[in-house]
Chain A
């Protein structure tokens, strides 16, 4: 029992009460191999892995720590070793003849630690000559660990709230959601003199909107930007009161949860007779939504990220912009979940180049970007902030510093929270982290004269709101 109390993240009391963990872990492993598609992956990986260590040179954590535990290939070997020992004929025979490796509690604890030191950013995938995807191994290992209840408390509590509680990860009830949106509507009226509505439960809308629900607490400007874009482009959209959370922590720790959460998104779109899922500024929510065909088949709703929507509208000339552009130097951080495979990299850049006077790339970028340091759900684990912004975030901080940008744009709720903390903890005091729609909001031409409102008062309100939001999200965790 001693070893189980030493995780660097908080776990629930129930985690510490699980007995007979190696057997339960192997039972879960056997079941996953039987029903899932992981068997061939593990089999191939354990045969071809050449241990060349090229992946080490691409891992931002290993580059900083130089600690062999952080080499992606070594981390993956932890799980491959269990697979080879218990699920291959050769491994079983070898163990019969010579004894050797046995899965122990200590070994499970090592895995519990190591697989949460990886953000599953998958940067190393591109540097593996044989094509091993260490992010996939981290994904699987975390699921197996979750089946013996080793899950960071921050993640499991959020998922419980989403699937069994209020219905979303931030525990925002519908009346509070509506209040927030009314408040945002007033803000838009005060600041821009324009009457923009957040439409609720409009049946037959083209788009059903799924932002990271935490945006309602923390990212007022992003949500106002989203609404503004939909307003000026005449988009048919709605927020469903049955489900308004795009967050899917299942992607980070359990395919079982992921499946349920994706199915809930599809169910809400069908309830509202909508056609498409419009995902807000959130990387992993977008990637999770891209799993809709996996769980709902080819007839599931189409998935559109708000960046793709805004870019298409800009291209079509339906997004009128003011003459006054963003003056500050702006740089762009690619969220791994939408950029790693190259799926969304150019749309945000085209938008930014259209609305900013001084746009500067950070290097490396696009599919080779560094993770913000809080990927794979780790950003929600507040107790490892020092690790996230230090060892994991150092490269990112250096990258941002090198651009000398005043604004870092990242269209991802996870990245934004993490990058704000990276800047705070790495003395990047003059850098502001914002969403892309925050900037869009400032330059959209609504075609009405702007009121001379007191900007300082509006900012004050914003601060108040986000403070309240932080308090609320703390109580959830």
Chain B
């Protein structure tokens, strides 16, 4: 099950990456002006991949979002228990974080996920924009963290160990499957978006004329 979900995620994300890269190539190929501001697009991407300088605007929301991202990226990848599973499965391993730190980050992930939803609902502008997805995804992301914490700390767990483990694994699988088909796909698309935005302004030289021909408007009075 996990393998299938992981494969779905990996293949889905690879597909996004490949499609986006080939689109970028096509855009550059069609553009009349091939002088693309790659450096600025890269700088803008880096600015937001490491957004420490950007937190002053909307301070609480930005801090929450930043901590949320750090926690949910670090814990699943660097938890000792997860690495042990990788090792027994495919023989690969890498340095782990301490379980104490993992607990702190897990708590952070859950707290910030809830805070993100609360802030989204409280602030008028984000509430106006939000779809069902936008509320559901942070809460769904919190589920494997809560259940994972219970698996790691049997004394806190009011349910059976297996039940907590089942919820943990299944919710994580569900998330893996959702990643390529929801806004979570920004995992791979974000590094390309600034470049795509830049290329959006690089029009093909004769696009206007061709559209005019298609619509039967070429040569017609304005």
Contact = CB atoms under 8 A, between A and B. Distances in A.
B208 A164 contact: no
Interface residues of A, number: 63
Contacts of B206: 35, 259
A53 B44 contact: no
A127 B57 contact: yes
A47 interface: yes
B38 to A, nearest CB: 14
Nearest to B30: A37
A55 to B, nearest CB: 9
B32 interface: yes
A328 to B, nearest CB: 34
Interface stretch (B82-90, B96-104, B155-163, B192-200): B192-200
Interface stretch (A203-211, A292-300, A373-381): A292-300
Q: Is the interface of B mostly helix, strand, loop or mixed?
A: helix
A51 B20 contact: no
Q: For this complex, into which size category does the number of interface residues on chain B fall?
A: 35 or more
B197 A41 contact: yes
Nearest to B183: A50
A97 interface: no
A40 B207 CA distance: 15
Given A31-B210, A133-B197, A48 B33 contact: no
Interface stretch (A67-75, A98-106, A178-186, A389-397): A67-75
A296 to B, nearest CB: 8
A48 B189 contact: yes
A259 B205 CA distance: 8
B197 A37 contact: no
A249 B158 CA distance: 67
Contacts of A125: 197
A68 B128 contact: yes
B208 A131 contact: no
Interface in A36-68: 36-41, 43-45, 47-54, 56-58, 62, 66, 68
Nearest to B185: A47
Interface string A248-259: 000000111111
A130 interface: yes
A127 B129 CA distance: 16
A103 to B, nearest CB: 17
Interface string A13-45: 000000000000001100110111111110111
Given A51-B129, A51-B130, A35 B201 contact: no
A258 B208 contact: yes
Contacts of B197: 41, 125, 131-133, 136
Most buried by B among A51, A132, A291: A51
Nearest to B23: A40
B3 interface: no
B89 to A, nearest CB: 31
A68 B57 contact: no
B207 A36 contact: yes
Interface string A123-143: 001110111110010000000
B110 interface: no
A62 B31 contact: no
Nearest to A134: B197
B215 A44 contact: no
B57 A159 contact: no
Contacts of A131: 44-45, 48, 190, 193-194, 196-197
Contact of A53 (B27, B123, B185): B123
B42 to A, nearest CB: 11
Contacts of B23: 39-40, 43
A329 B130 CA distance: 46
B78 interface: no
Nearest to B214: A31
B221 interface: yes
A156 interface: yes
A163 B208 CA distance: 15
B60 to A, nearest CB: 12
A152 to B, nearest CB: 14
A147 interface: yes
Contact of B209 (A52, A62, A147, A259): A259
A3 interface: no
B201 A136 contact: yes
24 contacts: A32-B207, A35-B204, A36-B207, A37-B30, A37-B199, A44-B20, A44-B189, A47-B189, A48-B189, A51-B126, A56-B125, A57-B125, A127-B57, A129-B48, A129-B51, A129-B54, A130-B190, A136-B197, A164-B221, A256-B211, A293-B33, A294-B33, A294-B202, A341-B37
Interface of A: 27-28, 31-32, 34-41, 43-45, 47-54, 56-58, 62, 66, 68, 71, 73-74, 77, 125-127, 129-133, 136, 147, 156, 159-160, 163-164, 254-260, 291, 293-298, 341
Interface of B: 16, 20, 23-24, 26-27, 30-35, 37, 40, 44-45, 48, 51, 54, 57-58, 61, 65, 123-126, 128-131, 134, 183, 185-186, 189-190, 192-194, 196-197, 199-212, 214-215, 217, 221-222
Given A37-B31, A47-B185, 7 more contacts: A36-B203, A40-B200, A41-B199, A54-B58, A74-B128, A159-B222, A259-B209
